[in-house]
Amino acid sequence: MVKNQCLAPWTARVLTLFPEMFPGPLAYSLAGKGLKDGIWALETVDIRDFARDKHRTVDDAPFGGGPGMVLRPDVVSAAIDSLAEKTGGQCDGPVIYLSPRGSLLTQDRVKALAAEKEVVLLCGRFEGVDERVLVEHKVEEISLGDYVLSGGEPAAIALIDACVRLQPGILGSAETLEEESFERGLLEYPHYTRPKVWQDRAAPEVLLSGNHKEIRDWRLKQAEAATKERRDDLWQAYLRKTRLDKRD
C-alpha cells in the first residue's frame, strides 16, 4: 500500500565519488518500502562532476607529505554549493562528513537527524577532505566506530537506515520506538521460537509458562547478564542510573 505523504519527505542528499553504491541495501526491506512509498527520498551527487580540469581531478597530495590523497576543497565546496542552488538558497539541514575522526554516532544523534527535513552526507575516499571546506561549510564529522572502512559510503548507508526506520509511516516504527524507550541502556534479551527442542536444546521453560511477570523478570536478568558480559561501558552507566533511581 502506498501511503499519502507530505510534499517534502525526509531526504538524504549524498555527496560521493561512487553514486552507484546508492541506494544499494537501502532499496530493500523497510527502507526500500519507505523509499518506494515516498516516506523518504534519496539524492546522490557525484563529486567528480565538480572537478574542473579535463582529467576531472578531485584529489591531490597532502601538504606536509604523508600517504594517500586528499579531496580538494574547491571541488568538494562546489558540490556542496550545488545542493543549495537546487533548493533555492541554503541547504535545509546539517552537513555531515562521515569520517573515522568524527564523533561517534549515537541513537540520540540519529533521533535528532531523523527529525531534520534533510541531511547532507559527504562521503570521503582516500585519506580525507581538506579541513578548510569542513570549517567553511560548518560540517559535522561523524564516525561509526573504531575500525577502518574503505570509505564513507557504507557509513552513510548505515546512518540513513537508522534515520529512515524512525520516520513516521515506516511499518513497525511505533512498536520499535516504544520498546526502545523502556529498554533503556541494556542489550536485548535472547530470543527463541519453535521448535521447543532443537538439536537436543530446549527453549527456556519460563518462556513457555505463560507467566508474564516471570517472563519479564527472566528477560531483564538475561539483558543485564549480556550487558555486564559484553558492554562494560553500558553496564557501568546502567549501574549508576539504577543507583540514582533507587534514591528517590
- Give the binding site for ligand 9D3 (CB under 6 A): 98-100, 124, 127-128, 143-145, 147-152, 155
241, three cell numbers: 542510573
CB of 28: closest distance to ligand 9D3 in angstroms?
22
Cβ neighbors of 197 (< 8 A, separation 6 or more) are: 203
Q: At what angle do helices 232-247 and 212-230 cross, to 10 degrees?
A: 130
CB of 110: closest distance to ligand 9D3 in angstroms?
14
Looking at the Cβ atoms of 34 and 152, the one nearer to ligand 9D3 is 152
107, three cell numbers: 541513537
Looking at the Cβ atoms of 150 and 193, the one nearer to ligand 9D3 is 150
Looking at the Cβ atoms of 123 and 223, the one nearer to ligand 9D3 is 123
Strand partners, 145: none
Q: Quick check: helix, strand or coil at residue 232?
A: helix
Residue 128 main-chain phi, psi, to 5 deg: 160, -165
Tell whether the torsion through CA atoms of 87, 88, 93 and 94 is positive or negative: positive
172, three cell numbers: 513497525
Looking at the Cβ atoms of 147 and 182, the one nearer to ligand 9D3 is 147
**Pairwise CA distance, residues 112 & 216, whole Å:** 30
Tell whether the torsion through CA atoms of 7, 119, 106 and 244 is positive or negative: negative
At 118, which helix (H) or strand (E)?
strand 118-123
Looking at the Cβ atoms of 155 and 207, the one nearer to ligand 9D3 is 155
CB of 30: closest distance to ligand 9D3 in angstroms?
22
Q: At what angle do helices 107-114 and 153-164 cross, to 10 degrees?
A: 70
CB of 185: closest distance to ligand 9D3 in angstroms?
23
CB of 86: closest distance to ligand 9D3 in angstroms?
25
CB of 99: closest distance to ligand 9D3 in angstroms?
5
CB of 66: closest distance to ligand 9D3 in angstroms?
9
Looking at the Cβ atoms of 83 and 123, the one nearer to ligand 9D3 is 123
Looking at the Cβ atoms of 2 and 148, the one nearer to ligand 9D3 is 148
